[in-house]
Amino acid sequence: MHTSLLPWLALSAALLPTATAFYPYHYEDDSTTSNSRRTPSSPAVANTDSRSITLPIHRITTSSSLRTRQNAYKIVNSNDPKQANSVAIDQDGGDLSYMVAVTIGDSKEEYHLLLDSAASNTWVMGQDCRSNACKLHNSFGTSDSSSLKTQTTPFSVTYGTGSVSGTLATDTLHIGPLSPSLTFGLANDVSSEFSSYPMDGILGIGRGTADNIAAPKLLDVLSTSKLISAKIYGVHLSRATDGLSDGELNLGTVNKDRFTGDLNYVDCVPNDTGFWEVPVSAASVDTNSIPLASARNAIIDTGTSFILMPPSDALALHKNIAGYVQDGETFSVPCDTAATVQFSFNNVPYNISTADWRGGKLSTGLCRSNIVGRQTFGEKQWLVGDVFLKNVYSVFDAEKWRVGFGVKSAGAATPSASSAVPPPPTSAGVPDAAETGLVGSPGAAAPSSAAAEATQQDQKDELQKGAGIKRNAMSRVVVLLASSMFILG
Ligand SMILES: *[C@@H]1O[C@H](CO)[C@@H](O)[C@H](O)[C@H]1NC(C)=O
Ligand SMILES: CC(=O)N[C@H]1CO[C@H](CO)[C@@H](O)[C@@H]1O
């Protein structure tokens, strides 16, 4: 994974301005390869009774040697939501990947699928997949579920650095208390980049209509099978440092306990992309509004970790942060900055707390900014991901094609600007395959033998340790760009 940035940029540029789905984004540091953080040969036994500890997911060995695998990716599970028709949103412990655990058919195995609001493709790694990424993850197939109906219809999703392809299949998807029958992709070929992320597949909850998986979309299926009464969902993302493990996806209705006051609904812009794309009425740092040449839109994407905007916009924003330093498309800022970044929708301002947009500490003594200067799509489009979404309760309304934002209720803690500088979320870096023999998740600290005993305090301790790893100033950026060239035409 020690690929230089330029090829990535070139690839992503070549794909512009096609639509995307999945845009996890993390910094990669040269100095962070740490063998000690990974002991893939001795995974701890998962305590499958608890939803709130760090679980190494353990693939149960079956007949085929191909399937002798052990999934040691770190997942921080959230508690089961109290509201009906809801499911926990888990994460990687570093606020980079938000996932929903599902089971499929009569399989007892859990699959963690990345929650992707920017596309409607759903796929899971298949049992016949021989790609390295599949060997490292939980895979699914006919030996897992007797109700699985496979097809020969191929699907393919092309990413900036590779692709996922396979064939379609139909089975019952168990998502929280709901069990729709869904046609999804069974991936037989998965590019190596997926070795770096904990998810076993992707759960597409975008608005896309044209799509490379030619089957009814999850929201439509839930609606037509009368499992939900409205095509709407609400998202509350957990913040790892809050330690609340309270991420939740509310299907068919919103969770009124998650926000105060009314939802601020913003109509999606006319589009042909299938994005949840809404106009940004203003952006500011503290009280300084950021001068923008023209109106900007935000693509609201749960599958994107950070906030990506065209370079000139990112520069204009950071110019309002005292002491910022630009390094190509990335920026760093003094770690003690108290600047509050605000995005307004329908002229209602939403704070992005400092602890969210300000990332981990670099060896320069500065901290990264999680707002990156990269044009992902059009020059007016910002890709607004989890760094923002952690600060609001968000509602995706496919009945009226609008996105609602709610101010989070007390109880959903908001870190103050003065809270401790968070450790770099990718403290493990991406392990060097040559050294570890395994390419793993950026957040995939190998679970200790006492993982079954792990508590949130343990996780915090581990994160603190990660913070102590010497950082290399010249961090690089690794991007997995999902193109919907085939998805959205
Ligand atoms: C947003 O940030 C500003 C500046 O720090 C602060 O004055 C204001 O109270 C914050 N608003 C909310 C709702 O937290
Ligand atoms: C607001 C909105 O949803 N506009 C359009 C988005 O794109 C689809 C497909 O082209 C249109 O049908 C919507 O009207």
Give the domain CATH number at 343: 2.40.70.10
* Torsion sign over Cα 257, 260, 266, 272: negative
Note the Cα 74 to chain centre separation in Å.
Answer: 14
- CA dist 51 and 291 (Å) reads 45
**CA atoms within 13 Å, Cβ hemisphere of 257:** 9
As to burial, measured by CB atoms within 10 angstroms (0-12 exposed, 13-18 middle, 19+ buried), residue 82 is: exposed
| Residue 69 to residues 35, 75, 114, Cα–Cα distance (Å) | 19, 17, 20
Mode of pairing for the β-strands spanning 98-104 and 86-88: unpaired
Domain annotation covers residue 25: yes
Predicted pLDDT at 443: 30
Q: Given the CA of residue 267, which atom of ligand 2 is nearest to it?
A: 1
64 and 119 assigned to the same domain: yes
Q: Which of 431, 449, 451 is nearest to 37 (CA)?
A: 431
Nearest ligand by distance to the CA of 339: 1
Catalytic residue among 92, 116, 171, 211: 116
Burial category of 30 from C-beta neighbours within 10 Å (exposed 0-12, middle 13-18, buried 19 and up): middle
Atom of ligand 2 nearest to the CA of 270: 4
Distance from the alpha carbon of residue 66 to the mean position of ligand 1, in angstroms: 53
Residue nearest to atom 8 of ligand 1 (CA): 351
Give me ligand 2 centre to Cα 112, in Å.
Answer: 31
The amino acid at residue 265 is Y
Atom nearest to 269 CA in ligand 2: 1
Rounded CA separation 13/339 (Å): 31
Letter for the amino acid at 178? L
As a whole number of angstroms, the distance between CA 186 and CA 141 comes to 8
Express each pLDDT in 414-431 by its tens digit: 444 444 454 443 333 333
- 178 and 305, same domain (yes or no): no
Nearest ligand to the C-alpha atom of residue 208 = 2
Same structural domain for residues 334 and 380?
A: yes
**What are residue 343's DSSP bridge partners?**
283, 350
Q: Is residue 70 part of a domain?
A: yes
CA of 277 to the centre of ligand 2 (A): 11
Residues of the chain with pLDDT under 50: 1-21, 28-69, 160, 412-420, 422-489
Selected catalytic residue, list 29, 301, 386, 397: 301
Tell me the backbone φ, ψ of residue 484, rounded to 5 degrees. -105, 30
Identify whether 459 is part of a domain: no
CA-nearest of 174, 165, 78, 88 to 121 is 165
6 falls within a domain: no
Closest CA to 184 of 143, 158, 226, 155: 155
Give the pLDDT score at 418: 40
Residue 186 lies in a domain: yes
- 165 in Cβ contact with 189 (< 8 Å): yes
Residue 362's identity, in one-letter code, is: L
Q: For residue 168, tell me if it sits in a domain.
A: yes
Do residues 47 and 53 lie in contact, with contact meaning Cβ atoms separated by under 8 Å?
yes
CA of 260 to the centre of ligand 2 (A): 30
Nearest-CA residue for atom 14 of ligand 1: 351
In a shared domain, residues 99 and 187: yes
Examine the residue annotation and report whether 301 is marked as an active-site residue of this protein: yes
Ligand nearest to the CA of residue 397, numbered in listed order? 2
Assess whether 267 and 305 both reside in one domain: yes
Q: How far is the CA of 339 from the centre of ligand 1 (A)?
A: 10
Give the span between the Cα atoms of 202 and 184, in whole angstroms: 10
Whether 225 and 253 map to the same domain: the answer is: no
Residue 1 lies in a domain: no
Based on the domain organization, do 193 and 297 belong to the same domain?
Answer: no
For residues 299 and 391, membership in a common domain is answered with yes
Rounded to whole angstroms, the Cα distance separating 240 from 401 reads 30
402 pairs with which residues across the strands? 267, 397
Residues 69 and 135 in one domain: yes
Domain shared by 161 and 284, yes or no? no
For the question of residue 116 being annotated catalytic, the response is yes
Protein residues with CB under 6 Å of any ligand 2 atom: 268, 270-272, 401
* Residue 382 domain flag: yes
Q: What is the 3-state secondary structure (H, E, C) of the chain?
A: CCCCHHHHHHHHHHHCCCCCCCECEEEECHHHCCHHHCCCCCCCCCCCCCCCCEEECCCCCCCCHHHCCCCCCEEECCCCCCCCCEEECEECCCCCCEEEEEEECCCCCCEEEEEECCCCCCEEEECCCCCHHHHCCCCECCCCCCCCEEEEEEEEEEECCEEEEEEEEEEEEEECCECCEEEEEEEEEECHHHHHCCCCEEEECCCCCCCCCCCCCHHHHHHHCCCCCCCEEEEECCCHHHCCCCCEEEECCCCHHHEEEEEEEEECCCCCCCCCEEEECEEEECCEECCCCCCEEEEECCCECCEEECHHHHHHHHCCCCCCEEECCEEEEECCCCCCEEEEECCEEEEECHHHHEEEECCCCEEEECEEECCCCCCCEEEECHHHHCCEEEEEECCCCEEEEEEECCCCCCCCCCCCCCCCCCCCCCCCHHHHCCCCCCCCCCCCCCHHHCCHHHHHHHHHHHHHCCCCCCCEEEECCECCCCCCC
Assess whether 194 and 334 both reside in one domain: no
Do 250 and 170 share a domain, yes or no?
Answer: no
What is the C-alpha separation between 94 and 228, in angstroms, rounded? 32
State the ligand closest to the CA atom of 19.
Answer: 2
Residue to mutate (ligand 1; options 259, 344, 351, 357; most atoms within 8 A of CB): 351
Residues with CB under 6 A from ligand 1: 286, 340, 351
Domain ranges, residue 64: 16-236+468-488
Please give the distance, rounded to the nearest whole angstrom, from the Cα atom of residue 290 to the centre of ligand 1.
17
Contact of 477 with 25, CB cutoff 8 Å: yes
pLDDT for res 370: 95
Sort 77 into a burial class: Cβ within 10 Å, 0-12 / 13-18 / 19+.
Answer: buried
For the chain, what is the domain count? Answer: 2
